[in-house]
Amino acid sequence: MENAVPEVIDLSCKEAARLMSQRHDRTLTPGETESLKQHLYVCLNCTRFDRQLDFLRRLAQKYAAGGGVEDHPI
């Protein structure tokens, strides 16, 4: 590990939301991860948004596996 202290910045909800979404698509930098964590500590609205994004992923995966259609073995 090089220079272990990540740069933590104050995020607006708009910036935090962008990172919460991108977390599903790429690996965040340590600075981004820590900044997002700090924001989520204090922001209920974003915490809900984050949980709902996780749910959206579960929903999409369930859908891909046949969720929503009764699946009878043939």
Partner 1 sequence: MGDAPKSKDRLFLEIESHRGYMVRFATAKLRDAEQAEEVVQEALLAALDAVGGFAGQSTLRTWLTSILKFKIVDFQRRVISERAHIAQAPDDDSADTEWLDRQFDQTGHWKMQFSEWANPDDALQQQQFFAIFESCMDKLPKTASRVFFKREVMGIETEEICKEEEISSSNCWVILHRARVSLRECLERNWFQGAK
Q: Is there binding between residue 63 and partner 1 (CB under 8 A)? A: yes
Instruction: Check residue 9 for interaction with partner 1 (CB under 8 A).
Output: no
Binding flags for partner 1, 15-44, as an x/- string (CB under 8 A): x-xx--xx-xxx------------------
* C-alpha angle 30-21-56 in degrees, rounded to nearest 5: 130
CB of 36 closer than 8 Å to CB of 66:
no
Q: Which residues bind partner 1 (CB under 8 A)?
A: 12-15, 17-18, 21-22, 24-26, 45-46, 48-49, 52-53, 55-74
